[in-house]
Every structure is written in C-alpha cells, then in structure tokens.
Structure 1
Amino acid sequence: MSHDMPMSMPMPTPNNAMGDMNMMHMTFFWGKDLVMLFDNWPNGKLGMYILALFFVFVIAVLIELLSDFPTIKTGTRPIVGALAQASVYGLRMVLAYFVMLSVMSYNVGVFIFVVVGHVVGFFLVKYRVAMKNKA
C-alpha cells in the first residue's frame, strides 16, 4: 500500500461539464476563471468577475468603516450599548472572513481589490477624524 498522496486536493471547476477534476490553484494567478465564496461564482464570465472584484472592494471598505463605530453615548443602558457594539463587531468579523476566503482564491485581481478597498476605507475613516478635529 502506497502512502504517496497529492499535495493539493482536486477541485471541480465551473467549465468541466463532465465532472472531471482539475487542480485547485495554490499560487497566485491572473484571470477571470475562478470560484470565489459560492459555487459557480463568478463562473468564468468577465462581467461576473468584475462584479466580484467590486464586491470584495466594497466589503473591505465596509470593514474599515465599521472599525470606527461610535462609542456608547452617555446615558445609554450598558446592556443596549454592549449589544450594539457586539453586533457591529460580529458583522465586521463576518465581512472580514468573507474577504479572507475571497483572497484564498489566490486570484491577483481579488487580492489587489481587497488591499485597495482596505486602504480606501482606512483613508475615509482617518479623513473623517481629521475633519472633526479641524472643526
């Protein structure tokens, strides 16, 4: 009995109608042919790939915007304030894991759009703080 096992798991791709298995990418690659987050999405279609890039960009921006959630206002009941903060944190973690799983597609375009989304979101948060301090 041989103990030799392949280093990567075979994964179905959107283009194999007969069910044969292709190897999953384990290094960065360019191209619109990937599966990200959901089965058959973006399905190798350029329009859906562009939508996926926009999707991860917006999620990355939202993660940064949610990191600057306002503090609990004076007079708010502690349980209400804590639940609000915990809910926002939970949403932020869900979005962060979606972004992490998207980047694990090893697609260079996805990676670039995620990084740029985080940078834009961070800039918006810091710009808003700077404008508050200026006034």
Structure 2
Amino acid sequence: MSAVMNGNRNVEQNIGLRPLFLPNNQPGHLDRLLDFLGRSKKIGVLVPLSISVPLKLRIIKYTNFKESVILDKVYATNGIVSSGSTELNQLIDDLIIKSEKYRIRLETIEAFPQLSDTKVEFGMYYIRPPIM
C-alpha cells in the first residue's frame, strides 16, 4: 500500500483488512464455503464456528529508504462478516496507520483442501470517519 502524505504531517488512516473468498460457478460451492468458513445469523442459519483459518500478517513501513516492521502477527480468522453472491468476507483486523509507504505481506499458516477450488483475494478498505 502506498498512501499519500498530507502536507508535512502524517495523517492517521483507519483501514480494514479482509480476505475475500470468491465462490466459483460449481453448483453448491457457495454453500460449501459457508459451511466451512462459518455462517452468521445475518447470512442464514447459524453454523458453529469450528474452523479457524490462521493468517500471518506483516506490515513494513518505508521511510527514507529504511524499513521498519510495524506489525508481525498471526490472526485466527473465524466466520464470515459479510456475504454476497460473488464474495464472502472475513475480518482480519481494523488498524490505524499513518499515511506513509507500506508493504503488506499476508501468508496462510496451513493448507486447507476445502479451499483448493476457491479464489481468494486480499482486500484493504479505508474506513471513513463519521461526518460531524
């Protein structure tokens, strides 16, 4: 991620980090994903969350050709936070970072055969503060 500086001062940004699971066109694939990743009351029947998908997230900040690690953490993601016909979202974390240049590295900690036919993308969202 590369953020733009605002004048000479750093502006704090609130961002959300989420893996996006993209169901394919195979019949029943969306339901199999929901059963594996966990459903919530908002998305249909409640399925006990028995699967935790561990993800390692590392964020490195670059300043004056130097790098510093600002986050190096393993997250255990559980359940789906939002669902649509084309994607399912899990929440990794909401963070507050300053407008700088960053490199974000996301790794899976273990293999899940249940996701072998599923395309997964990483989403980063700017969370706009409420307008006063």
- TM interval, short-chain normalised: under 0.3
Report which of the two structures shows the higher radius of gyration computed on alpha carbons: 1
Instruction: Normalising by structure 2, report the TM-score.
Output: 0.22
Give the structure with the higher percent helix.
1
